[in-house]
Structure 1
Amino acid sequence: MFDVAPTELLLVAFVAIIVIGPKDLPKAMRFVGHWVGRARGVARQFRSGFDAMVREAELEEMEKRWKEENERIMREHPSPDPALPAPDTTEGSGDDPAGAGEGRTGGDGAGEEDGAPVMVEKPLVHPSEDDATPADKAAQ
C-alpha cells in the first residue's frame, strides 16, 4: 500500500529525534502508534462491512439464478397430471421414502381425518407376578 523505503524511514526517525527530542520521543511514538492502530481498526471495519455487502449481493444474485433455473426446469418438465400437486422441493419436508404415511392409517385402523398416521402406544413391559391382580393369578 505505502511504499516506504528503509532509507526514508531512517530519515524520518532522524528528523523526529531532532525535532521532538530524545526525552519526548517515546511519548510521541505511543501517540502515533495509538492513532495508527485506530486507523487500522477503522480500515478493517470498513473492509469487513464492504465484504459482507459483496457476499450478500452475490447470494441474492445466486438465489435469483437458482429461481430462474428452477422455473425453466419446471416449464420444460411439467407434471404429468395437472390435478396432482407439485412435488414439495423444500429441504427437510419430512417425506416418507417408503410412502407408508401417505393416506394410510396405523396397523390398528385408527387414524386422523387428514390421513396422517397415528401412533398407538403399546406396553413395553409385561406385568410381573407381584403386580398381577388376584384375577390375573387365577387365570394363570
Structure 2
Amino acid sequence: MFDIAPTELMVVALVALVVIGPKDLPKAMRIVGLWVGKARGVARQFRSGFDTMVREAELAEMEKKWAEENARIMREHPADPPAAVHPIDAPSPPPPVHDPAPASPEDDPAPVMVERPELREAPGDHPPAADGKAPS
C-alpha cells in the first residue's frame, strides 16, 4: 500500500527510540495504535457506505432494465383471450332435482343402506369356558 521496506521501518523505529526515549515509547506506540484503529474504523465505515450505494445503484439499474423488458414483452404479446377451461377445472353441473314422491312404484329407487347394522353373535359362536360351562 505505502511500499515501506523493512529497512525504512527499522530506521523509523530507531529514530522514535532516540527521540521519544525508551521510557515513553510503549505509551506512544499505544496512542499510535489507537489512531490507526480509529482510521481503520472510519475507512471500514466509508467502504461499507460506498458498497451499499453501489449495490443500490446496480439494483435500480437492474429494476429499470427489467421494467423495460417487461414493457417490450407486453407490447409484443398483448393480453390473449382467456384460454378454454379444462374439463377438470370446469364448474360441476348442479345436482338433479328429485320429486319427493315417485309417480309409480317402478320409479322408486332401491333403498340405500346408510348405517352399518350392528353385528349380533349367535349363542353358539362363543368358545366354551375352561370349566365346561357355557357363558351366559
Compute the TM-score of the two structures, normalised by the length of structure 2: 0.60
Please give the per-residue CA displacement for 1:87-126, whole angstroms capped at 9, x wherever unaligned.
xxxxxxxxxxxx85x9x59xx9xxxxxxxxxxxxxxxxxx
Q: Aligned residue for 1:59?
A: 59
Residue identity (%): 73
Equivalent residues in 2 for 1:1-140 (5 A)?
1-81=1-81
SS in 2 for 1:11: helix
Please give the per-residue CA displacement for 1:11-41, whole angstroms capped at 9, x wherever unaligned.
0000000000000000000000000000000
Aligned-partner Cα distance in 2 for 1:52–1:20: 43
Using the TM superposition, give the Cα deviation of residue 80 of structure 1 relative to its aligned residue in structure 2, in angstroms: 2.4
Aligned-partner Cα distance in 2 for 1:50–1:2: 22
Compute the TM-score of the two structures, normalised by the length of structure 1: 0.58
Please give the per-residue CA displacement for 1:40-69, whole angstroms capped at 9, x wherever unaligned.
000000000000000000000000000000
Runs of 4+ in 1 over 4 A off after TM superposition: none
Q: Aligned residue for 2:125?
A: none
Aligned-partner Cα distance in 2 for 1:2–1:55: 29
What is the total number of aligned residue pairs between the two structures? 89
SS in 1 for 2:9: helix
Unaligned 5+ residue runs, structure 2?
Answer: 83-87, 96-136
Question: Which has the bigger relative contact order, CA under 8 A and spacing at least 6?
Answer: 1
Aligned residues: CA RMSD:
2.3
Aligned-partner Cα distance in 2 for 1:8–1:70: 61
Using the TM superposition, give the Cα deviation of residue 2 of structure 1 relative to its aligned residue in structure 2, in angstroms: 1.3
What is the identity, as a one-letter code, of the residue corresponding to 1:13?
A
Look at both structures and tell me which one has the larger radius of gyration over its CA atoms.
Answer: 2
SS in 2 for 1:69: helix
Unaligned 5+ residue runs, structure 1?
Answer: 85-98, 109-140
SS in 2 for 1:2: coil
What is the identity, as a one-letter code, of the residue corresponding to 1:75?
R
